[in-house]
Amino acid sequence: MKHQPVKAIFPGSFDPITNGHLDVIGRGVKLFDHLIVAVGQNPQKEELFTPDQRVDMIRDLVKDMPRVTVEKYNLLTVEYAKQVGADVMLRGMRNLTDVQYEFQMAMMNRSVAGVETVFVMTSEEFGFVNSTMVRDVAILGGDVSKLIPVSVYDILKKRLAEMKNK
Question: 160 with 139: CB under 8 angstroms?
Answer: yes
Distance CA 113, CA 107 (A): 10
Pick the CATH number of 7-164 from 3.40.50.620, 3.40.50.970, 3.40.190.80, 2.40.30.10: 3.40.50.620
Active-site choice (27, 34, 131, 135): 131
Indicate if the pLDDT at residue 7 is higher than 90.
Answer: yes
Band of pLDDT at residue 22, cut at 50, 70 and 90: very high
Indicate if the pLDDT at residue 156 is higher than 80.
Answer: yes
Q: Nearest CA to 118 among 63, 81, 65, 74?
A: 81
Looking at residue 16, its pLDDT comes to 95
Mean pLDDT of 56-73: 97
Active-site choice (21, 34, 54, 135): 21
Looking at residue 36, its pLDDT comes to 98
Q: Which residues pair with 69 in a beta bridge?
A: 36
Looking at residue 155, its pLDDT comes to 96
Mean pLDDT of 9-30: 95
Looking at residue 20, its pLDDT comes to 93
Q: What is the pLDDT of residues 70-89, one digit of tens each?
A: 999 999 899 999 999 998 99
Looking at residue 110, its pLDDT comes to 84
Question: 6 with 33: CB under 8 angstroms?
Answer: yes
Band of pLDDT at residue 64, cut at 50, 70 and 90: very high
**Residue 131: active-site member:** yes
pTM: 0.91
Mean pLDDT of 19-41: 95
Looking at residue 17, its pLDDT comes to 96
More confident of the two residues 109 and 37:
37
Active-site choice (45, 63, 157, 158): 45
**Residue 21: active-site member:** yes
